[in-house]
Amino acid sequence: MKSMVKYLVKNNLQKIILQKIRSRKYIIEGGNTMSYKKEAYAKMAASIIKNLEKRNMEGYYYETGAECTKAILEAIPAGSSIGWGGSETIKEIGLMEAIHNGNYELIDRLAAKDPKEARAIYAKTALADYYLMSSNAITIDGELINIDGNGNRVACLIQGPSHVIIAVGMNKIVTDVESGIARVRNMASPANAIRLNKKIPCAASGHCHDCLSPDCFCNQIVITRRSGHEGRIKIYLIGEELGY
């Protein structure tokens, strides 16, 4: 009888825990209640989406990268030509793999065998139906902050491809442009520089030295404060920490 009671209590407890996990109210991870963070992300995303609207850009929010990838794939018609800018986020959420395996014309900038071919691929990318990228940072007020060494990514964001799809983890949200630039130069660039084995000061020290090195990442600093073309730029916010 005693063991039966024990079994029922244990079973009931398990059921309650499972229900709570399913309702996403009490997901415990490393001792933290992640649901509060997710709830805060969702509320902040709602404000950002509103602010993007006034800047002629569309915003969406997904709790997970997988949900976001599914939504992006549904938004891109089969057969579309697709170019992309360097981004860890679009790889991490599985978007690049899905595009590679999907029914699209992928314009693969990594396929270039020499600078001449790279130029030809870039010309094609500039006229693509869709361009995929992340943003280095986004302000709560809806400004996009992007820093680029080559400039190909920011050039395509500004003009060229018919549609620009931007996937961004909520870890890249900042309060203002200044803190966004500081975030990119002191958080994203050092990690990227180490990943790419670049001989630049932030790779050595882990923070920005405002360098003018030959390999400098920070040649172009672009703030997108408004889109001039309705429906061209779509921002997919994701309630996860993604990219750098």
Q: Which residues bind ligand SF4 (CB under 6 A)?
A: 185, 189, 200-202, 208-211, 213, 216-218
CB-neighbour burial class of residue 72 (10 A; exposed 0-12, middle 13-18, buried 19+): buried
- Torsion sign across C-alpha atoms 61, 170, 133, 92: negative
The nearest distance, CB 244 to ligand SF4, in angstroms, is 11
163/185 with CB nearer ligand SF4: 185
Contacts of 131 (CB under 8 A, 6+ apart): 82, 83, 84, 85, 125, 156, 157, 160, 161, 163, 164, 165
Taking the C-alpha atoms of residue 172 and residue 185, their distance in angstroms, rounded to an integer, is 13
81/213 with CB nearer ligand SF4: 213
What are the φ/ψ torsions at residue 227 (nearest 5 degrees)?
-95, 135
33/205 with CB nearer ligand SF4: 205
66/211 with CB nearer ligand SF4: 211
99/202 with CB nearer ligand SF4: 202
The nearest distance, CB 185 to ligand SF4, in angstroms, is 4
The nearest distance, CB 217 to ligand SF4, in angstroms, is 4
The nearest distance, CB 189 to ligand SF4, in angstroms, is 4
The nearest distance, CB 215 to ligand SF4, in angstroms, is 7
